[in-house]
């Protein structure tokens, strides 16, 4: 392992393939107040020979009485604001239900939909249809928060009723999520570093445990994936 990976306390290399192609380090944050674990990844998480899914599965997590923030792949096709194939939403339902069944205080879902180029596109990529579909699939109410990085959202997620599910508006409406984009005119946008930091700090406040269940976008350096910094973070690739 390279030196930059050796930090914190209680390190354990759980997989290390040839040529450093894959390396996974399980480490404690060393913070006695949080006692969280973080999985650090280098290389390609798609390697079909990886044993990661056998070692880092959702059933190994302790989520009881904790608020879970979860990245899910709900990038579903739509026509006239109607979902034409709900398979990606259905695929995430077991993970959501598992957290709730295990006593999670709440689950906050973070989603990308479409190519918005870092600007709001509520005419085409609004998540209201996704909310309604998810309600029917999990059999309970889903609170739709029509933003993701404002104080009102932080307050709404600060002390949720037990067992609640919240879904944030499309993170791609914010240029800070992918750090660049473009306006309808074609002019390019580049997010300011200070605003990217503020975005990541705000998103990190929405949960105690972060779970990445969005396999399809796990290779991308999006703020909601690589920039979140709650006490506990996990990558979950159960089915891939």
Instruction: Sketch the domain layout of the chain as residue ranges.
Output: 1-56, 62-235
What φ, ψ does residue 165 adopt, rounded to 5°?
-120, 130
- pLDDT confidence of residue 46: 34
Per-residue pLDDT of the chain (240 residues; tens, 9 = 90+): 333 322 222 333 333 333 332 333 333 333 333 333 333 333 333 333 333 333 356 777 788 899 998 888 888 888 888 889 999 999 889 989 999 999 999 999 988 765 655 555 666 667 788 889 999 999 999 988 877 666 777 777 788 888 999 988 877 776 667 656 666 667 777 777 888 788 788 888 888 888 887 765 555 566 666 667 766 766 565 544
Contacts of residue 161, defined as CB under 8 A and 6 or more positions apart, other chains included, come to 106
- pLDDT confidence of residue 52: 33
- pLDDT confidence of residue 179: 59
Round to whole Å and give the CA distance between 197 and 149: 11
Contact 165, 206 (CB under 8 A): no
- pLDDT confidence of residue 199: 78
Cα 27 to the center of its chain, rounded Å:
20
- What is the pTM (predicted TM-score) of this model? 0.67
Helix axes 87-101, 128-138, angle to 10 degrees: 60
Round to whole Å and give the CA distance between 233 and 109: 14
Distances (CA, A) of 103 to 5, 16, 27, 122, 169: 33, 33, 25, 34, 25
Contact 21, 28 (CB under 8 A): no
State the burial class of residue 139 (Cβ atoms within 10 Å of its Cβ: 0-12, 13-18, 19+): exposed
Of 146, 140, 141, nearest to 127 by C-alpha is 146
**DSSP E strands, 54-195:** 67-71, 78-79, 82-83, 106-110, 143-145, 164-168, 180-182, 188-190
What fold does the segment set 62-235 form as a domain? Rossmann fold (3.40.50)
Contact 188, 182 (CB under 8 A): yes
In total, the chain counts a number of residues equal to 240
Of 233, 178, 183, nearest to 211 by C-alpha is 233
- pLDDT confidence of residue 122: 63
Is 22 in a helix, a strand, or coil?
strand
């Amino acid at each position: 392992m390279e030196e930059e990976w050796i930090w914190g306390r209680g390190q354990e290399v759980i997989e290390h393939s040839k040529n450093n192609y894959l390396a996974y380090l399980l480490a404690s944050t060393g913070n006695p107040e949080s006692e969280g674990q973080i999985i650090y990844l280098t290389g390609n998480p798609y390697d079909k020979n990886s044993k990661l899914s056998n070692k880092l599965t959702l059933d190994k997590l302790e989520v009881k009485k904790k608020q879970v923030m979860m990245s899910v792949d709900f990038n579903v096709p739509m026509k006239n604001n109607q979902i034409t194939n709900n398979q990606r939403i259905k695929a995430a339902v077991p993970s959501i239900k598992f957290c709730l069944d295990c006593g999670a205080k709440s689950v906050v879902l973070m989603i990308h939909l479409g190519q918005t180029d870092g600007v709001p596109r509520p005419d085409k990529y609004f998540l209201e249809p996704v909310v309604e579909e998810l309600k029917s699939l999990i059999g309970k109410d889903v609170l739709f928060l029509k933003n993701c990085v404002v104080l009102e959202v932080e307050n709404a997620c600060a002390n949720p009723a037990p067992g609640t599910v919240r879904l944030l508006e499309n993170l791609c409406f914010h240029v800070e999520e992918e750090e660049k984009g473009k306006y309808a005119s074609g002019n390019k946008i580049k997010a300011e570093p200070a605003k990217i930091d503020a975005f990541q700090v705000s998103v990190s406040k929405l949960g105690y445990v972060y779970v990445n269940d969005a396999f399809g976008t796990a290779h991308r350096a999006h703020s909601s994936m690589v920039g979140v910094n709650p006490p506990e973070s996990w990558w979950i690739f159960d089915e891939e």
